[in-house]
């Protein structure tokens, strides 16, 4: 097996495909988002599903985040292992095996989860009582994404009441994610639709308040909506994740953040003057949001990705001098799923590799 690369080398010396993280851009992204929330009534609880890396999470917390968000129990386990204390698992936790892991986790950190189902509430309460632990609960409300969640109004009230009556569960508030709106490129339309969407959630909070169930936490929002959802009642916490790395998709929506994450690849073939083939394919870059964006190559566009090849067409072959062995970088179209393909972030400053951070929660989908 090869030697690990050593900090201090130019990143161009790395074998490829390799995931590069520009430290200065990362820190500016973290700082910019922290500054936004510094004087707002809501707080930032960044989503760790994007980076899956404790070193990044710790920097977000140092900058003022009140805790982190995780997608799954296993992701939260990894973050707790790194000493992170306040974790929202922004998801339902269902099934005996997973609830067992969750109740163990409550003994190592302050964890909070979402529910949308009465049977699950009963199972959680039973498991917590059996282990003598307590668990904070948010009721997930469907505000139009049509994924998980109960409907606003009475259905939310009824589930919140059940949680509040269940032993060892603490009803703490609501979670509602406007995921169907975060990618709207037009800023005015995005803002109008988000504010409209939050009205029934705010009304639900008022209903719960009247019924003696104050909503301490209302959690939602993403990178596309942090400044809208984050300034819109009833939101108290925003779960933005992608801002920390960015990708070519979110750059269209949020140009105030910088693309800190790139994939370094090698040209392995130039079989025709108008075609370049690189060593980064679908096992190195995901594509559900579109092709990754090659950086600084005039007229280049991705034609397709095989498993282990990226095939680029060149509109003006004569001006592109790239030869096999040259290295090129891509901005991924979806940072979260691309990061999940790698074991390490190669942290760079300028042209130099300065650190290697393990993506400790890579593959933690349970």
341-360 positions binding a second copy, by CB under 8 A: 341-343
227 is a site residue for a second copy (CB under 8 A): no
Site for a second copy in 256-285 (CB under 8 A): 266-271, 275, 277, 279-284
What helix, strand, coil percent values describe the chain, rounded to 5? 30, 25, 40
Taking the complex as a whole, how short is the minimal distance between the CB of residue 64 and a second copy, in angstroms?
A: 26
How far is C-alpha 68 from the geometric centre of its chain's CA atoms?
A: 10
Measured from the CB atom, the residue of 32 and 327 that comes closer to a second copy is: 327
Among 180, 188, 95, 98, smallest CA distance to 146 is for 180
Measured from the CB atom, the residue of 123 and 251 that comes closer to a second copy is: 123
Measured from the CB atom, the residue of 43 and 54 that comes closer to a second copy is: 54
DSSP state of 185: S
Beta-carbon contacts of 75 under 8 Å, excluding residues fewer than 6 positions away, are: 48, 49, 52, 89, 361, 364
How far is C-alpha 222 from the geometric centre of its chain's CA atoms?
A: 8
Stretch that binds a second copy, among 59-67, 162-170, 213-221, 320-328 (CB under 8 A): 320-328
Among 210, 114, 105, smallest CA distance to 171 is for 114
Q: Which of 116, 178, 227, 237 binds a second copy (CB under 8 A)?
A: 116
Site for a second copy in 126-155 (CB under 8 A): 142, 146-150
104 is a site residue for a second copy (CB under 8 A): yes
Site for a second copy in 174-203 (CB under 8 A): 179
Among 38, 60, 220, smallest CA distance to 147 is for 220
Question: Bridge-partner residues for 206, per DSSP?
Answer: none
Measured from the CB atom, the residue of 226 and 289 that comes closer to a second copy is: 289
Measured from the CB atom, the residue of 63 and 176 that comes closer to a second copy is: 176
Spatial distance between the Cα atoms of 99 and 169, rounded to a whole number of angstroms: 13
Taking the complex as a whole, how short is the minimal distance between the CB of residue 28 and a second copy, in angstroms?
A: 25
Taking the complex as a whole, how short is the minimal distance between the CB of residue 267 and a second copy, in angstroms?
A: 7
214 is a site residue for a second copy (CB under 8 A): no
Q: Which of 336, 347, 353, 360 binds a second copy (CB under 8 A)?
A: 336
247 is a site residue for a second copy (CB under 8 A): no
Q: Which of 45, 49, 51, 193 binds a second copy (CB under 8 A)?
A: 49
The three state secondary structure string of 221-289 is CCCCCHHHHCCCCCCCEECCCHHHCCCHHHHHHCCCCCCCEEEEEEEEEEEECCEEEECCCCCCCCCCC
């Amino acid at each position: 097996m090869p030697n690990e690369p050593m900090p201090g080398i130019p990143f161009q010396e790395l074998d490829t495909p390799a995931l590069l993280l520009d430290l200065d851009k990362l820190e500016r992204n973290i700082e910019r988002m922290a500054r936004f929330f510094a004087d707002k009534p809501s707080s930032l609880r960044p989503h760790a599903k994007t980076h899956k890396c404790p070193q990044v999470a710790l920097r977000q917390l140092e900058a003022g985040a009140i805790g982190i968000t995780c997608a799954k129990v296993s992701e939260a386990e990894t973050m707790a292992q790194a000493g992170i204390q306040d974790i929202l698992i922004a998801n339902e936790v269902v099934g005996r095996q997973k609830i067992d892991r969750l109740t163990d986790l409550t003994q190592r950190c302050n964890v909070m989860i979402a529910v949308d189902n009465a049977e699950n509430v009963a199972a959680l309460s039973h498991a917590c009582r059996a282990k003598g632990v307590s668990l904070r609960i948010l009721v997930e409300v469907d505000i139009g994404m049509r994924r998980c969640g109960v409907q606003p109004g009475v259905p939310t009230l009824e589930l919140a009441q059940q949680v509040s009556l269940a032993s060892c569960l603490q009803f703490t508030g609501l979670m509602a994610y406007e995921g169907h709106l975060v990618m709207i490129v037009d800023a005015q339309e995005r803002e109008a639709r988000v504010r409209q969407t939050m009205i029934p959630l705010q009304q639900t909070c008022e209903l719960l308040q009247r019924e003696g169930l104050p909503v301490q936490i209302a959690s939602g929002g993403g990178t596309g909506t942090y400044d809208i959802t984050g300034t819109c009642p009833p939101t108290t916490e925003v779960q933005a994740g992608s801002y920390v790395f960015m990708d070519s998709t979110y750059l269209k929506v949020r140009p105030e953040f910088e693309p800190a994450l790139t994939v370094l690849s090698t040209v392995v073939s130039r079989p025709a003057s108008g075609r370049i083939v690189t060593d980064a394919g679908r096992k190195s870059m995901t594509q559900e949001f579109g092709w990754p964006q090659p950086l600084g190559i005039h007229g280049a566009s991705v034609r397709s990705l095989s498993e282990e090849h990226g095939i680029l067409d060149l509109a003006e072959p004569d001006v592109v001098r790239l030869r096999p062995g040259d290295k090129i970088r891509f901005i991924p179209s979806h940072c979260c799923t691309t990061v999940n393909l790698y074991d390490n972030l190669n942290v760079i400053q300028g042209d130099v590799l300065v650190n290697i951070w393990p993506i400790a929660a890579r593959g933690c989908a349970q």
